Amino acid sequence: MKHLPLFFDLAGRKVVVAGEGPMADRRADLARSAGADVRRLPAATIQTVDFKGAAAAFVATGDAESDAAVQKLAKAAGVPVNVADRPALCDFILPAIVDRDGVVVAISTGGASPTLATVLRGRIEAALPERLGAIARLAVTFRAQVKALIRDPARRRAFFRNLVDGPAGRLALAGDEVGARRVALGELDAARRHLAPEGIAHIVGAGPGDPDLLTLRAAQLLQEADAILHDDLVPPAIIARARRDAELVSVGKRKGRTGWTQAEIDAELVRRVRAGQTVVRLKAGDPFVFGRGGEEIDALRAAGLAYSIVPGITAALGCAAAAGIPLTHRRIASSVTFLSGHSAEGAAGGNTTVIYMGATEAASVRDRLLGAGTDPTTPVAIVENGTRPDQRVSTGRLGDLARLAAVHSRSGSAGPSLIIVGDVAAYAAIESPPLAKVS
């Protein structure tokens, strides 16, 4: 992150704007909208003393030499300065801003592309309701009461989530702020009388690794969770989508490493939900495809606890698509089989076999498939880190799978891999069109 996003209170504070023209006007208007005491000064007469006591300075003369000269004066006075269209001279930059009646979203590209920031601002403006500030006012109205009456932090967060996203929030967005307060009072009274917090576990698929392939529901739950119990195979870029104060617990099990047992994970889920937490059990791929999600559901059911299932794009689908491999094809493949590396038995003609966690047992996988009658010339593909920026794909023939896997592992750091066996695997060797992307 090149710039740390901060929001400064400028109400009543001096802000100097040096220069004339539209760019200077915009900066002056923006500072006034935040309550600043704006001083407009012509660049030709400005001196260091003019910056004394200022909280910030904006320079927009339109002339490179004048901009640099005024910037030096501001720096000499110890005032942070922004120079229009000259990032190298800036102590801070102006983001693209979306203001919804006090709810402010700032978008910055670190000066790399103001156009991109503008495009993103347009998309965010289209997504945010015009009366969003009414919900913020509603939350402020009840903040002290909620803090006094609901002592448990997890239950407080749950109350405010419902306030924002429930009936009261919808009334506020519709312009009925009186009705919204009435509904919120009823919900607060109900929350006060409910002494025992209720927890829930969400068994969530993280997909094959690309954060943009998370489902909308998965992304939402990552922002709501009190705790996230995640696999080792879930990449940091996805974990970074979690709420900043969520507790992150790695419960991964990796081949050849000591880690949490499934029984320990089940017990931890039950313990946290019983304590009233909203828990996300975040699994690579899909929870019900070699994810042991069914076992965790069994444990939650046995304990009489609430849970939900959020499917993810399983690795076979994501990796195959990212590599350009159609798992089924009208002319050459009419079925797909998903296997783990410990149970690969055979790949019949016209069938695609997808083998999870099989790269480290490539020789054994090859022998079992050949023993089941699979043609040794059948195309194979090894897809590592599928859908991620560091995706690697190796292709070859089944008879040479062990050597192919060995070469593949030597050519880079080993990540989660799967093997695709069948005629469709040959598609991975076909060059993809420019900018092709799974979506």
Give the domain CATH number at 364.
3.30.950.10
The verdict on residue 106 lying in a domain is no
DSSP 343-360: S-----TTEEEEEET-GG
Residues 205 and 302 in one domain: yes
In a domain, 257, yes or no: yes
Domain count, the chain: 4
Please indicate, yes or no, if residue 306 is contained in any of the structural domains: yes
In a domain, 127, yes or no: no
What is the per-residue pLDDT for 117?
93
Q: Strand, coil or helix: what is 104?
A: strand
In 3D space, the residue among 230, 227, 271, 270 whose CA is nearest the CA of residue 254 turns out to be 230
Tell me the torsion sign for CA atoms 146, 200, 266, 340: negative
Above pLDDT 90, what percent of the chain?
58
Decide if pLDDT at 111 tops 60. yes
pLDDT at 3: 85
The answer on pLDDT for 32 being more than 60 is yes
Separation of alpha carbons 148 and 354, rounded Å: 55
Question: 9 an active-site residue?
Answer: no
* 414 within domain boundaries: yes
Q: Are 288 and 314 in contact (CB under 8 A)?
A: no
- What gap in Å lies between CA 284 and CA 229, rounded to an integer? 12
pLDDT for 348: 47
pLDDT exceeds 50 at position 198:
yes
Average pLDDT over residues 84-98: 92
Q: Among residues 39, 72, 94, which one ends one of the domains?
A: 94
Q: What is the pLDDT of residues 286-343, one digit of tens each?
A: 998 888 999 999 999 999 998 999 999 998 899 899 899 999 898 888 788 888 776 5
Specify whether 170 is located in the same domain as 242.
no
> Is the residue at 60 inside a domain?
yes
CATH number at residue 36: 3.40.50.720
Distance, in Å, from the CA atom of 230 to the CA atom of 228, rounded to the nearest integer, reads: 6
Question: What pLDDT sits at residue 228?
Answer: 97
Residues 399-433: pLDDT tens digits?
Answer: 999 999 888 777 765 678 889 999 989 888 765 44
Q: Would the pLDDT of 435 be above 50? A: no
Residue 256 has pLDDT above 80, yes or no: no
Quick one: pLDDT band at residue 152, thresholds 50, 70, 90?
Answer: confident
Where is pLDDT greater, at 24 or 127? 24
89-93 long-range contacts, CB within 8 A, separation 24+? 89/59, 92/3, 92/56, 93/3
Q: Does 29 share its domain with 87?
A: yes
Known catalytic residue: 231?
A: yes
Given 50, 67, 210, 231, which residue is catalytic? 231
Inform me whether the pLDDT recorded for 201 exceeds 90: yes
**pLDDT interval class at 139 (50, 70, 90):** very high
User: Residue 98's pLDDT is what?
Assistant: 93
Categorize the per-residue pLDDT at 388 as very low, low, confident or very high, splitting at 50, 70 and 90: confident
Torsion of CA 367, 368, 371, 375, to 10 degrees: -80
- pLDDT higher than 90, residue 134: yes
In CATH, what number is assigned to the domain containing residue 210?
3.40.1010.10
Q: pLDDT at residue 345 above 60?
A: no
Domain closes at, from 313, 329, 346: 313
Average pLDDT over residues 93-110: 91
- Name the band, by pLDDT with cuts 50, 70 and 90, for residue 344: low
* Residues 297 and 367 both lie in one domain: no
**Do 205 and 307 belong together in one domain?**
yes
**223 and 309 fall within a common domain:** yes
Same domain? For 410 and 324 the reply is: yes
| 401 within domain boundaries | yes
**Secondary structure element (H or E) that encloses residue 379, with its range:** strand 379-384
User: Would you give the DSSP letter of residue 327?
Assistant: S
CA distance 60 to 43: 9
The verdict on 152 and 252 lying in the same domain is no
Average pLDDT estimate for 160-189? 90
pLDDT at 434: 41
Which position among 25, 99, 176, 253 bears the catalytic label? 253
Q: Which of 297, 313, 329 is the last residue of a domain?
A: 313
Distance CA 232, CA 234 (A): 6
What pLDDT score was predicted for residue 86? 92
Q: 211 and 178: one domain?
A: no
Q: How confident is the model at residue 102 (pLDDT cuts 50, 70, 90)?
A: confident
Same domain, 173 and 206: no
Say what the pLDDT of residue 127 is: 86
Report residue 199's pLDDT band, with 50, 70 and 90 as the boundaries. confident
Average pLDDT of the chain is 88
Model confidence band, residue 156 (pLDDT cutoffs 50, 70, 90)? confident
pLDDT at 436: 40
SS3 assignment, position 384: strand
Mean pLDDT of 347-355: 74
In sequence order, which residues have a C-beta less than 8 Å from that of residue 371 and are 6 or more positions away?
none
Q: Write out the residue range of the structural domain in which residue 43 sits.
A: 14-94
pTM above 0.85, yes or no: no
Is residue 204 domain-shared with residue 189, that is, in the same domain?
A: no
**Domain co-membership, 212 together with 258:** yes
Residue 297 lies in a domain: yes
Residue 437's pLDDT is 41
What's residue 66's pLDDT?
Answer: 96
